[in-house]
Amino acid sequence: MPDPDIILQCETIEALREDKEWWAVYEGSFPPSERASKRREMEMAADRHVRILCARENGKTVGLATIQLLEHIPVVFLIALAVSPHERHHHIGSRLFEYGWSVGARELKKRGKKTRGYVWEVEKPELAGNEPQRKERETRLGFYNHLGAELLTYPYIMPPIDGIHTIPMYLMFRPAPGTKNPDKKEFDALVRTIYREKYSMVNHIKNETMLSLLHALKI
């Protein structure tokens, strides 16, 4: 049963800057190759398409999520979702996941957009470096499957948010009520939208890098 003492809310830029627990959860949950610097995260938080979310217990941040509103194809892009190791298995992650969806869908509706679905990147279990890591990735996939998402198995590459590493990944998708998962043509259009609106416009990755990745994916 969800903990009634957990409060879900959007972080202000000022609160995020001073929230040491938020940064501890973020840095402890993602390898350096999959996270932006604090300076870049703060710049991203100021973008009008991005929302920084947190779960707090007794005034302390114990979980986080970051979403971006994509508009060319109106979907909610879940950039990050993480919970403090000491607070896992208390349904905080699933609550933050659904909170991110509700915040994003509501914001897109305000902009006159009918939300198509919820999308995010996941690491490939088959590319894990060892057996515990593979099991951890499979557990994560199962978590999202339980929340109604499906794996899109078309090729996808996460651009180099650390400025160095590109990472083969999967996209997962949960369609909005009354819609369906994208076919290959729609998937290609979704990838172009993610690359342009998230990685080019928010992360400021060079256009030639993005074009090279699209060429590698044959999109």
Consecutive 10-residue runs of the chain (219 residues): their mean pLDDT? 76 93 94 89 92 94 97 97 86 96 97 97 96 96 96 97 94 97 97 97 95 97
Which amino acid does the sequence have at 216? A
Q: What is the pTM of this model?
A: 0.94
pLDDT at position 5? 82
**Cβ distance 22 to 11 under 8 Å?**
yes
Structural domains present in the chain: 6-216 (3.40.630.30)
